[in-house]
Amino acid sequence: MRGVKQIKFAAGLAATIILRLPQAVPNIEPIMAFALPYSKAYGALAGFLFALVSILSFDFISGRVGLWTLYTGIAYGAIGFFAALYFKTRSKRVHYAAYSLTATIAYDAFTAFFFGLQFNQPLLITFLGQIPFTLYHVAGNVSFSTIFSPMIYKHVLAEPEPVPGVVPDARETIH
């Protein structure tokens, strides 16, 4: 079963990166929609790594590596980490919407602050310039997370419920 989880993890990362490549509108991307169900299914460390590696890989593949890669990767990693804790007992669409809304605003505030520091911009200019990007980011993340996160979890990541009276395959019980 461990190999299956690793394949699903790698496939999710690949999908996240591939879906980001044709990005027509800034900050409309699928990282949050994938990171939340992966965090729920695989735990805090896996959620952190999924989001972090997604950012690092995309920046590397697209040739956009910079100091921002570090702080945006860590920020998205933190979102993945805390998502595992939040989604331990939650799985409704409204929970995905609420978490992605809150996490996106926190992420954009954090990364805008460091972006402004990196490029020596006044804080007010940085945050005013961030508003349109945050609006796009919130719209994309809330929409994608509300629609796709529950589907990804249910149809790709969730362990099947045991069927009463059916004995599992003996090979699955051997460690």
Residues 124 and 111: their CA atoms lie apart, in Å, by 14
Q: Which token pair is 8?
A: 């699903």
User: What mean pLDDT is reported for the chain?
Assistant: 90
Residues 149 and 97: their CA atoms lie apart, in Å, by 10
30, pLDDT greater than 70: yes
- What pLDDT was estimated at residue 104? 98
Mean pLDDT of 146-159: 91
Buried b (16+ CB within 10 A) or exposed e, 35-71: bbbbbbbbbeebbbbbbbbbbbbbbeeeeeeeebeeb
> Within its chain, how far is the Cα of 159 from the centroid?
20
Which residue segments constitute the domains of the chain, with CATH numbers given? 2-159 (1.10.1760.20)
Residue 173 falls in which region: left (phi positive, over 0), alpha (psi -120 to 50) or beta? alpha
Comparing 3-12, 54-63, 155-164, the range with the smallest average pLDDT is 155-164
> Within its chain, how far is the Cα of 65 from the centroid?
19
CB 32 within 8 A of CB 145: yes
Provide the 8-state DSSP code for 89. Answer: S
112, pLDDT greater than 90: yes
Mean pLDDT of 138-159: 93
Residues 170 and 150: their CA atoms lie apart, in Å, by 31
CB 147 within 8 A of CB 39: no
Residue 43 falls in which region: left (phi positive, over 0), alpha (psi -120 to 50) or beta? left
pTM as predicted: 0.85
SS3 (DSSP) at 164: coil
- Is residue 175 very low, low, confident or very high in pLDDT (cuts 50, 70, 90)? very low
Q: What is the pLDDT of residues 51-110, one digit of tens each?
A: 999 999 999 999 999 999 999 999 999 999 999 999 999 999 999 999 999 999 999 999
